[in-house]
Amino acid sequence: MSAARRLKASLKGWGGVGAMGVACALTATFALLPLRDAPLDGAATGGQGMSRGMYANADDCEDADAWKQSLGPSSDEGGKTVAAIKKRGYLVVGVDQNSYRWGYRDPNSESDSADLEGFDIDLAHRIADEIVGGDPKDNIRFKAVPTNQRIPAIQNGQVDMVVRTMTISCKRLKDVAFSAPYFTTGQQVLAPKSSTIDGYDGSLAKKRICTATGSTAWERLDADKESGDLVSSADISTTVPNQLDCLVRLQLGEVDAVVTDGALAASQAAQDPTVALKGKPFTTEYYGVAMKKDAEDLVRRVNQVLEDYRDSGWQQSYDKWLAPTLGKDPAKSRPPTPDYR
């Protein structure tokens, strides 16, 4: 009796797994169909072969390897997304207006247009110049996109792409497509130069640490505190709407240290000569250009731009905006050689 029930239950379980496998296989088939000559026999022979395809796509994604998920470069401009942009005559890019040296507007700018400037902005201009061409002043429109609106703005077509210190992650890959990485960074500690804090280590004991609400930095600190990788006496209760607000709290003495992307921490250090990056980055992250998930032609086209940009352009932009705070040697910031899917 009990054996029969067990058998029935296990059959039921397998039935569920089987159904899911079939569903996955079908989804994967449709998703992969246009990309490559999908072997249709995979669907016929059943679960095994197809589910491996699934893994490679999303579920088995490791954040450390998420940057390897982009599509190979191509200078083909016949795809419908690229063609639509070229026809429109300008590229719409979602950017930040508050990240000093990355994407920001100088309030004292002499120019009437109060242009945006920074490392991200340089890259956006380069992409527009290569894809749209024409007058560099007229081939691009910037839209200020708040951090939590980056993905919705892409999904509902408000912007063609987001160039806004956006880390490539598995979670985001479910909603948007990323270009190959264009910058390497990692979570880092920022503290006053005179502080005893010397990195992401025991020197953070009994210190108050500021992070942005809902940021990867906070998630990491919370997880590390749980697992004991961060001293339990560190106080991570201060969270603010924007990472820059952490520098305000730091200057006012309300917190002792800030944890954020090294690149953004450098942008904060650039605004206050009395604070500095402490220790080495304790994670490795890559910034990528985010685009609509189905805009494959655009992803490939942008990757082609990046191929060229890495050779000429990247270094000049780095020297101009980031060398003063990240160091003259760009080795640790330089993106890895792309590993396309």
Summarize as ranges the residues that interact with another protein (CB under 8 A): 92, 96-100, 104-109, 112-114, 141-149, 152, 241-242, 244-245, 247-248, 251, 268, 271-272
Q: Shortest Cβ distance from residue 143 to another protein (Å)?
A: 5
> Do residues 180 and 338 touch, judged by C-beta distance below 8 A?
yes
Our CB check for another protein shows the closer of 98 and 315 to be: 98
* C-alpha pair distances (Å), 141 with each of 85, 112, 123, 278: 12, 16, 13, 37
Q: Is 31 helix (H, G, I), strand (E, B) or coil?
A: helix
Our CB check for another protein shows the closer of 146 and 192 to be: 146
Rounded Cα distance, 298 and 177, in Å:
10
Rounded Cα distance, 108 and 105, in Å:
9
Q: Shortest Cβ distance from residue 93 to another protein (Å)?
A: 8
Q: Shortest Cβ distance from residue 104 to another protein (Å)?
A: 5
The residues that bridge with 189 in the sheet, in sequence order, are: 259, 278
Q: Shortest Cβ distance from residue 125 to another protein (Å)?
A: 13
Our CB check for another protein shows the closer of 75 and 274 to be: 274
Q: Annotate 258-310 with DSSP letters as a single string.
A: EEEEHHHHHHHHTT-TTEEEES--SS-EEE--EEETT-HHHHHHHHHHHHHHH
Q: Shortest Cβ distance from residue 109 to another protein (Å)?
A: 8
Our CB check for another protein shows the closer of 180 and 289 to be: 289
Our CB check for another protein shows the closer of 101 and 220 to be: 101
Q: Shortest Cβ distance from residue 183 to another protein (Å)?
A: 19
Our CB check for another protein shows the closer of 216 and 268 to be: 268
Residues 6+ apart with CB under 8 A from 27: 54
Residue with tokens 């006496």: 233
Our CB check for another protein shows the closer of 172 and 300 to be: 172
Q: Shortest Cβ distance from residue 276 to another protein (Å)?
A: 16
